[in-house]
Amino acid sequence: MSRKYAILGETLKHTMSPPIHARLFELKNREYEYEILEVKPEELKGKAEYLNSLNGYNITIPHKIGIIDYTDELDQSAKRYHSVNCVDNKNGRHVGYNTDCDGFLRTVRAMNIDFTGKILLIGCGGVGRMMAIEAALAGADLYIAVLESDMPLAKQVEKEIKAMKSDARIT
């Protein structure tokens, strides 16, 4: 039985998702269909019913936040980061995940990186924001380096971290 999946984004000419997923499904000996859905933000609502008919889909910019309105549930990392990059259709319930966080944390653990020391993060937008939060929550002395123009963003990330962990050490 063939299952249907897609990647959702606005501009996807660069995406490597189809060949990556082709190989993953091949390794699992599964039949599947995988399509590219280029959708402008103002068209997302009109695509929601179709998206929810799929077995699952990946999400990239600019829909990682907008798609939340069309999910039934969010996992913990998607809630924490208010960002979804995968939706799984679990018996008609559409569950949003943020696998960027999971991948980052698994890589850190696999490399035996100790987050209790000093950590330098260059930039703090998008995935960098997630890395900053995870490092601080793990107990790091976090140093965030940004351009002067990104100082408001860095201050916002610091505020978010302090709301989650008041004794976090951030410079």
Please provide the size of the chain in residues.
171
DSSP string, 87-103: EEEETTEEEEE-HHHHH
- Is 159 an annotated catalytic residue? no
Report CA torsion sign: 54, 52, 131, 62.
positive
131-170 tens-digit pLDDT: 898 889 888 899 999 999 999 989 999 999 999 889 998 9
69-119 tens-digit pLDDT: 999 999 998 998 889 999 999 999 999 999 988 888 889 889 998 888 898
Angle formed by the axes of helices 151-164 and 127-137, nearest 10°: 40
Domains of the chain: 3-100 (3.40.50.10860), 114-170 (no CATH)
Catalytic residue among 64, 79, 159, 165: 64
Report CA torsion sign: 79, 80, 83, 86.
negative
pLDDT of residue 35: 94
Closest of 21, 130, 128, 48 to residue 82, by C-alpha: 130
Global pTM value: 0.77
Q: Which amino acid would we find at residue 96?
A: G
